[in-house]
Structure formats: structure tokens, C-alpha cells
Amino acid sequence: MSAAAVTLRLGHLYPGEMNIYADRGNIAVLERRLAWRGLGLEVTGIGIGDPIVAGAHDLFYLGGGQDRDQAVVAEDLARTKAGALREAVAGGAAGLCVCGGFQLAGHGYTGTDGSRMPGVGILDLDTVAGPTRLIGNLVIEAELDGERRSVVGFENHAGRTRLGPGSRPLGRVVQGHGNNGEDGLEGGVTGRVIGTYLHGPLLPKNPWIADTLIGWALEHRTGAPVALAPLDDTMEEEAHAAAVARATRRRGR
């Protein structure tokens, strides 16, 4: 089906609180890749106390934040947004949740002091704080819609995340720590929602994931699969290859 003149609607959850590590650059990538194809992106910030209307957005984005901001966001998510967000993704809306957003997309986060932040449960996973931070370049072998590719980024998290049966990993770790540094898995996927610890931001060096999210969101918007016009990703592929090489060099030291 043609996607001519379509404008996707993105709900940016907590842009004021969950915005560290330059990850709002992920939205810039989505906007440009849509514009290069003659498509639009309408971004709506959804902050503390703002409701979510199921069906009003084709794609949700939730980034990472400092612990104190994440605690405030967790309470607001549970109180004002959880039910509508679950309804939206059950209806086919796509989602990208990064680091702290990845943790809150699950069932919750338990801190070192035993305190508990509630999650919204759009991903089947749970996170417990570990004694150290897992930091460094991260390379994974990912699979989406039956296609496998390498994905690169940078991780910096204390959380140890473990998946339940309702989510599958985004990929398997080639270099780095991943969800918990033990099981070799990274990220989580349920339906059209992707969660990951990959910062950098994620999408500039991994346009395949950007286009997968765009395709899912367009299908939600139009009601049918949409064939995306190919783009010249030479620059993005060079950046991706450089990131893989950098991670490999550091591993060999």
C-alpha cells in the first residue's frame, strides 16, 4: 500500500525528565527518514499528569533518565497512563523504550535499598539494581520480523534485567554486557514494542531498526503493510562499521 502524504503521530513520553545520553536524537532520525520519503512526523510531548488516548498515536518513545526523575515518572506512569498505554500497544501501536524507559516498560525496578518502582507491563521483564554499572560499547546480533542484523550502541546501566516468557530478546550479545551480564541477551520485544539498553543514540547507526519502527507505525496508521522506499544509507553503514570495529578493538586489548 502507498503511504503518500501520511503523517505519523509520535507520543514522546516525558521529554523533560527522560532525555539523557542524547537519546532524543532517535526522534530526529525518525523525522528525517520519513521526510526523505515524503512523509511527516507529528510529535506530541506527554508529560507528568497528561493522559494517553488509545489510538491517538502510532508510535511511543520513552527514553532514559536519572534515578530521581525515573522514580517520579514511574509513579505517574502507573497512576495516569499504564492502562491506556497497554491498550494502545495491544491495538498495534509501536514503541521504542531505551534504558530507564526499557526498565519501566517492564513490570518494575527494584533498587539496592529494596524500594520498588512500578512498571507498565508492556514488556514481560523485571529489573533489579546490581552492585556495579555495566558500561561500554555494545554489539548484538538482533532479529526483527525474521531478519537478522548486527546492532551497535553504548550501554551504561546498573539494572539487571531478566525476560519473562512474554518477551523475546532483541538480540544476543556479541560484545558487551547486555541485559544483565550473564545470560547473553539484550533488550526485549513484545509485539511492536522494542526495549533496549543501547544508547548513542540508537537509531543513527542502526537505520534498519528505525525503518522497522516506521513500518510498524505506518501499518498502524494506514491499516495495511507499507513498502518503504529505500534510502542511501552509506553514511549510516560506515558509522555502524566503525562502531563495531571500535568495540572489537577494545575487546582485544
Q: Report the catalytic residues.
A: 99, 199
Residue at 214: amino acid letter: I
The total of other beta-carbon atoms located within 10 Å of residue 46's CB is 23
133 and 98 in contact (C-beta within 8 Å)? no
Cis peptide upstream of residue 201 (ω within 30 degrees of 0)? yes
Q: Which residues of 102-122 are buried (b: 16+ CB within 10 A; e: fewer)?
A: bbbbbbbbeeeeeeebbbbbb
Is residue 150 within 8 A of residue 126, CB to CB? The reply is no
Q: Which of 95, 90, 115 is nearest to 105 (CA)?
A: 95
The H-or-E segment that residue 71 falls in is helix 67-76
C-alpha cell recorded at residue 105: 516498560
d(CA 31, CA 25): 10
CB atoms closer than 10 angstroms to residue 53: 11
- C-alpha 70/C-alpha 74 separation (Å) is 6
